A and B are shown apart, each in its own frame.
Chain A
Amino acid sequence: KAGVTQTPRYLIKTRGQQVTLSCSPISGHRSVSWYQQTPGQGLQFLFEYFSETQRNKGNFPGRFSGRQFSNSRSEMNVSTLELGDSALYLCASSLLQAIAGELFFGEGSRLTVL
């Protein structure tokens, strides 16, 4: 059974640019969550999607957005990149909406903003 797949694994952008990250969940999983991981802040919750609807949202500015498609694949977008957006972005999927914590993580997309 394939795991959670994130693309691209590594990318470098410059300030002011935008970036789109992709996440393919485990087959059959309908919930996708996104987290930002940095050495100083640890894991910060960005948002969660379930059946194409945003169910929860963290405390990030509007430059961070996401969406989920009918096949449960998800994308997140960051516009007007800032140096502080450099981080590992982790996607996690889960089977059902109601099971908090049963998350399966991808390996992440490491974004460097220069």
Chain B
Amino acid sequence: GNSVTQMEGPVTLSEEAFLTINCTYTATGYPSLFWYVQYPGEGLQLLLKATKADDKGSNKGFEATYRKETTSFHLEKGSVQVSDSAVYFCALGRDTDKLIFGTGTRLQVFP
């Protein structure tokens, strides 16, 4: 079946450091891929998405490229801020099917 695997956290970084959160997936066909972010005490928010191979999603300085050959959708940011501290979820979805989430990766950024 379809599944998403994320690197375990927490990821601890200093402000302005480079961020990578790994995400790989298993799916039949061509799913859409997403990153959601959950700030403390809030619900999830869509951060970015990509709907086909080689697409790059980007938002708020975050980027992720849909790599079909490696079945990956790694999240990157060149310079993190304290305000980026949150839990990040990778997810996949196809057509009208339900969205499948990874287990989430907590990011902690210190000044």
Interface residues, chain A, CB within 8 Å of chain B? Answer: 4, 33, 35, 41-43, 45, 48, 55-56, 58, 90, 92, 97-98, 100-108
Contact = CB atoms under 8 A, between A and B. Distances in A.
Interface of B: 31-32, 34, 36, 41-46, 49, 89, 91-104
B32 A101 contact: yes
B34 A101 contact: yes
Contacts, number: 59
Given A90-B43, A90-B44, A101 B104 contact: no
Contacts of A55: 96
B44 A98 contact: no
Contact of A43 (B31, B41, B96, B104): B104
A43 B91 CA distance: 10
Given A56-B97, A108-B43, A101 B49 contact: yes
B43 A42 contact: no
Given A42-B104, A100-B93, A101-B93, 10 more contacts: A42-B89, A42-B103, A43-B104, A48-B98, A90-B43, A101-B99, A103-B46, A103-B99, A105-B36, A107-B43
Contact of B43 (A45, A48, A105): A105
